[in-house]
Amino acid sequence: MYSHIKQPELLPYGKIREDLFRPLSGLTKKYFLAILIPLLVILFGAYAWSVQLRYGMGVTGLQRPVFWGFYIVDFVFWIGISHAGTLISAILRLTDAGWRKPITRAAEAITVFALMIGGLFPIIHLGRAWRFYWLMPYPNSRLLWPNFRSPLLWDLTAICAYVTGSVIFLYLPLIPDMAQLAEHNTPWRRKLYSALSLGWTGSDKEWHALERAMKLMAGIILAVAVSVHTIVAWDFAMAIAPMWHSTIFGPYFVVGAIFSGLAGLMIVMALIRKLMGLELYLTRHHFDNLAKLLLMMSVLWLYFTLAEHITAWYGNDPSEMVVFGARTRTRFAYLFWLMVFVNFVVPFILLGIRKLRSITTGVIASFGILLGMFLERYIIVVPTLSNTRLPAATSGFYAPSWVELAITAATFAGMIVLYLIFSKLFPIIAVWEFKPHAQEDEG
């Protein structure tokens, strides 16, 4: 009946609400299978962590002098993915970009889930995880404060602030939809949605208050997100280590975070569009705009990568040139050039040439970007630690053990499970955002 209508805003509001609330009902065999396989991966990752807790960090591939490995790479990677919601939702909400409406909630959910996953790694990397309370910045019974020079303390403090703001930022736009879902639903869902809607009635006063709160949180969360990934960059830049001790690391990490976040969002949106049958609401126009943003971030990423390495090459410091050579010519060269290929060459071709740019090529480029950004974090961490600047120290070789690989795989499975659960409890597209522009058709 509505196949000839190209824009969702032209549909009756009742039709929009029906389409977007439909994925919440019914649990199919495909859904159970989709959630079962990642759950098995998570259980295996939990077993691997239990082995680490029982036998110590010796079961990992970490050894002198490489004491940072996959766990820190995973930490930086997931904190970077969390910037998807910050860019798409916060910036575009503040600028009142109309095309953002169908994708903001999916982006905000990525932010919260990625932070939940990334926030585990300071504790996992701690080894003795039961002593995580020493990372909290408060005085204990002996009036001893934590070591404020510890990067773990910086990370945990920043993540706690970021995840708190992100949950609020995700929750506020959910309130009007929760009120609608509470009207007609199963008893347990009705109780859940009624509690979450906070007695929302939809009065003008409530709408004005909600709009002000969302704009305020958008500004706050944007500032917090930039500061958080700058703090993550300080984990490296504050250390006097080759190729780390640089003032460029702050903006470099922020650009990389937004780059990987956009790629993650592109993949999630394509899956949502296909599996939930939301082709009418997630159109090629949205993917085209995301592709242009990805292309812009790819060029920015190349600029910062070149600036980092050209500065080291021009300075010709012996300790830095050892790491520079390991990255670009010897042990880690194949990873470095693969990173450049999937982070710049592939997006530049698939997204830069208009005839090639499509949803499929955008997803292909995004998978490559996620691989490239994971490699980038690995290349930042491991070569520097493998080639120490101290002549008395010996260089080392690092390779992740099965424990690290299993825990890493479990984090990706965790993102899938969290997203599947969220998509069955809450509409993945904000229904109320279409109401002011839709035709009222409640009958």
HSE, side-chain direction, 13 A CA sphere, residue 4: 1
Q: Please spell the DSSP secondary structure of 89-108, one letter per residue.
A: IIIHHHTT-GGGTTTHHHHH
Separation of alpha carbons 219 and 169, rounded Å: 10
- Asked whether the predicted pLDDT for residue 50 surpasses 90, the reply is yes
HSE, side-chain direction, 13 A CA sphere, residue 354: 1
CB contact set of 47 (below 8 Å; sequence gap of 6+): 406
CA-based R_g, the chain, Å: 23
For residue 443, is it within any domain? no
Burial class of residue 15 in the structure, from the number of CB atoms within 10 Å of its CB (0-12 exposed, 13-18 middle, 19+ buried): middle
Most confident of 27-36, 132-141, 250-259, 385-394: 250-259
How far, rounded to the nearest angstrom, does the alpha carbon of residue 285 sit from its chain's CA centroid? Answer: 23
Residue range(s) defining the domain that contains residue 317: 8-437
Q: Please spell the DSSP secondary structure of 227-283, one letter per residue.
A: HHHHHHHHHHHTS--TTT--TTHHHHHHHHHHHHHHHHHHHHHHHHHHHTT-TTTS-
CATH of the domain at 378: 1.20.1630.10
- Asked whether the predicted pLDDT for residue 338 surpasses 90, the reply is yes
HSE, side-chain direction, 13 A CA sphere, residue 393: 13
Q: Please give the share of the chain, as a percent, with pLDDT higher than 70.
A: 90
For residue 168, is it within any domain? yes
For residue 197, is it within any domain? yes
For residue 1, is it within any domain? no
Entry pTM = 0.88
Tally the domains of the chain: 1
For residue 442, is it within any domain? no
Look-up of token digits 């002198």? 64
The least confident of 6-15, 68-77, 265-274, 367-376 is 6-15
For residue 230, is it within any domain? yes
- Asked whether the predicted pLDDT for residue 137 surpasses 70, the reply is no
pLDDT tens, position by position, 248-285: 888 899 899 889 989 999 999 999 888 888 888 888 88
